[in-house]
Amino acid sequence: MQKESEFRKMLEMCTMDKTSQSNMKVAAHRLGAPALKADNTMTFQFYLDTQIIVQQYLTVFMEAKLEEFGNARRELKKTHDPTEYDSAFDKSLKDSAQYEDTCRQMAHSSLYESIKIDRECFEKSHQQYSMDPIKRA
């Protein structure tokens, strides 16, 4: 029950306001029809353009919360016993990383759904273009 409550709280924190979501979707629609290849992946340029849009809106959206996470970590040093500090610091880092990942996943889902790119196409494109080129060969 507690995990479900924490998950809901994380989803609420990661939900962009309607204006930001709408603006992000409008920016994606300006790119035109999705450019897909025969293997059901996006072209590199289309993938890159959509990633830039997501990152632009996420950076603004997450800025204040990431600053809060950073301030909380700095406070840990002042308030925690040195023997407890490492575990508290690690938890804070994990919470911050989870926040970023969840926000990014929600933004991708929202954007790609709005331009009619299915999850499989996104994941396949993401894997292809995010992989080290040496390993891809």
Mean pLDDT of the chain: 90
20-36, pLDDT tens digit by residue?
Answer: 999 999 999 999 999 99
Q: SS3 letters for the chain?
A: CHHHHHHHHHHHHHCCCHHHHHHHHHHHHCCCCCCECCCCCECHHHHHHHHHHHHHHHHHHHHHHHHHHHHHHHHHHHHCCHHHHHHHHHHHHHHHHHHHHHHHHHHHHHHHHHCCCCHHHHHHHHHHHHCCHHHHC
pTM, two decimal places: 0.84
Percent of the chain beyond pLDDT 90? 70
pLDDT in the model for residue 1: 64
